[in-house]
Chains A and B, each alone.
Chain A
Amino acid sequence: MNAASASREAGEVGDAAGAAVRARMTGFLKTLRDNHFAVGLDEARDALVLAEAGYGRRASALRPALRALLCARPADWQRFEALFDAHWLGRGVRAATMIAGQPQKAPAGVNRVAGKPGAQGAPDGLPDHVERGGDTEAAGEGEATRGGASRAEVLETTDLRHVADPDAIAEVNALVERLARRMRYRLTRRERLRRKGRRIDLRATIRHSVGRGGEPIDLMRRKRRETPLRIVALLDVSASMSQYSAFFLRFLHGILDHVREADAFLFHTRLVHVSPVLREKDPQKALDRLSLVARGFSGGTKIGESIATFNRQHAARVVHGRTAVIIMSDGYDTGDAEGLAEALASLRKRTRRIVWLNPMAGWDDYAPLAAGMQAALPYLDLFAPAHNLESLAELEPYLARI
């Protein structure tokens, strides 16, 4: 892979340009590695092969080629274009196209970068690290106070209403994620056939031995089945809950990300299934899409009707014997309380546990006086406060036992 072969293969591109492209390529690979792309030596070699095969002459040819080679997952796929433009459209490609004899309009902002060899070309002020909105990484960079244990401790007992600054929100995100990670699936007593099982499955072994003339040559094994605990969360996003709903949304987001089987619904005067929207990896984007999905946010509440809708349309699909239904609401209902009681009674017949999280229950002098709350209480397995992260964390051992 010397300079001579580069110039031979790339045709018009001279030695100097070949070397320039190689140097740019090395820098680009480093940028990608810094952005958590899995780029190893093999990829580096193949990237140079591509550059020498003539892909290095035009950005429009190089971009899809490198994208196919260097990306490994959907997240990479989406970020690649921004990283590529930031790095290549600043300097490297301009040099190459000029030598190839096709003068092109220089990309905007070129002169800003041209003089500084150390700086990565960033014509539009695009940083090399493409920041994902709402990430802890992005939020922590300003001041070096990445939350230590003590800071997290403080947050855990802060009422969620009072958490407002972006750093703190990022920390809340991280805490919720960690919490949801702990609610993993449990083992059941049922067993199923697995190749690396603990015990020998006699029935399957004998059945399998028929093909070997009755000799049990292959031993079939079985192992306890892991059944994921399924969590179905119903979040009240009416006006009275508006101060909390953003945080509960993050909680839902964490659950959907880390609990293998989970479903999320929002309700106010009607019920909306939001799992697909929330599964969007980027929390900021998810919130954007949510605002489109859930019109009627912060309006009135019809808890009973919403739960009845859930029973009618979704319960058969999403609720099974090992499901915990978590309702997050303050219990202020504009519908009638009887309807709520009926809906909860029928939901109770289907599910393992109904947990009601009420942010107001954490207040010092709270008593469940709201008519809706009164009607719901007899049907709940757990009625718990959820005004801060500590109270959410206390749920974990409870959910683990289901």
Chain B
Amino acid sequence: MTLDKAEIATRLAGAGYVADSELGTALVLMDLLKRPLLLEGEAGVGKTEVAKALSAVHEAPLIRLQCYEGLDASSALYEWNYQRQLLAIKTHERDGLAAEAVEAQIFSEDYLLERPLLAAIRSKTPSVLLIDEIDRADEEFEAFLLEILSDWQVSVPELGTIKAVTIPRVILTSNGTRELSDALRRRCLYHYVDYPDEARETRILQARLPDIDTSLAIEIARMVAMIRKEDLSKVPGVAETVDWAAALVGLGVKHLADQPEVIHETLLCLLKTRSDQASMTREVTDRLLGKVA
């Protein structure tokens, strides 16, 4: 099922994700070229959301593999259910079965615990596989991943090779903690996710908070865009903007400039470190509010 760009854009919007047009192209190309998509960008720009939206677009199950330092093949791919195997051996002791028969049984698929990667390639319908924060995993894991992503098969020593039933759509995300290998980068389509501009952020707010005033959404987007330009150590992401907007709607604010003290106090939704809160003084807030109005 290949969808064209306009169709994907509509469906993304239906799933509550407001994409820029380049991302739409990238998602079409994923299907056309059968390549994974690597998303890079600052924390909080909505990289993980892309995968969730894509799974909604294709009505495919989302399988998520969260990477961390020390993640190894067994916890990403498969594991044997040792406890069940031991139990099976114990029960078969009384039956007097031959050792080979027992072995054949306990190393069958019944005793295999699927981990995300295996689950993704054995899924009946093509799934969306999200490999989150790949830069946190070790380099060896990256190499291992590369092999799976190019061959779409996995070898389990006791069972033989398991071929992919369906080929998942793969999205990888990276925060740039570690430089990824060139091989992996080349294998993937690439999209750099940036903070949304004012117009897009307004639309995001409208999609997420259906009962928000259009004028308020515009003002919030403009304000956040300016706050991002301030000298902050942790720049607020899209999720923070939505939180803040929800807070303002809940407090009954109609225009930002009307209630500067409320605005200043609710900035804690956006600023998550002490130094940032200290640097956004009341004067700074008022100056920015002056520009918004």
Contacts and interface: CB of A to CB of B under 8 A. Distances in A.
A-side binding surface: helix, strand, loop or mixed?
helix
A64 B176 CA distance: 22
A68 B25 contact: yes
Contacts of B70: 193-195
A194 B22 CA distance: 40
Contact of B182 (A38, A195, A273, A314): A38
A313 interface: yes
Interface stretch (B26-34, B203-211, B241-249): B26-34
Given A64-B22, A196-B140, A273 B29 contact: no
B32 A74 contact: no
B21 interface: yes
Contacts of B185: 38, 72-73
Contact of B29 (A40, A69, A212, A293): A69
A69 B33 contact: yes
Interface in B186-227: 186, 188-192
A156 B248 CA distance: 58
Given A40-B186, A68-B26, A68-B190, A211 B278 contact: no
Contacts of B47: none
A195 B138 contact: yes
A167 to B, nearest CB: 29
B83 interface: yes
Contacts of B140: 195-196
Interface in A290-319: 293, 313-314
A103 B182 CA distance: 41
A50 interface: yes
Contact of A68 (B29, B82, B176, B275): B29
B86 interface: yes
Interface in A87-121: none
Given A64-B21, A213-B86, A69 B231 contact: no
Quick one: which of B70, B186, B233 has the most chain A CB within 10 A?
B186
Interface residues of A, number: 34
B72 interface: yes
Given A273-B275, A313-B275, A68 B233 contact: no
Interface centre among A38, A73, A272 (most CB of B within 10 A): A73
B35 interface: yes
Interface string B3-47: 000000000000000000110011001001101011010000000
A209 to B, nearest CB: 10
A174 interface: no
Interface string A305-336: 00000000110000000000000000000000
A76 B182 contact: no
Contacts of A211: 82-83
Contacts of B182: 38, 72
B33 A46 contact: yes
Contacts of A61: 25
A245 B270 CA distance: 34
A76 B186 CA distance: 12
Interface in B144-202: 176, 182, 185-186, 188-192
B287 to A, nearest CB: 15
A396 B185 CA distance: 34
Contact of B32 (A50, A64, A193, A314): A50
B29 A67 contact: no
A46 B35 contact: yes
Contacts of A49: 32-33
A53 interface: yes
Interface string B59-83: 0000000000010100000000011
B233 A65 contact: no
22 contacts: A38-B185, A43-B186, A46-B35, A50-B33, A65-B29, A67-B22, A68-B22, A69-B33, A71-B192, A72-B182, A72-B190, A74-B40, A76-B190, A77-B190, A77-B192, A211-B82, A212-B82, A213-B82, A273-B233, A273-B275, A276-B231, A277-B231
Given A38-B186, A42-B186, 8 more contacts: A40-B186, A43-B186, A65-B29, A68-B29, A71-B190, A74-B192, A77-B192, A195-B70
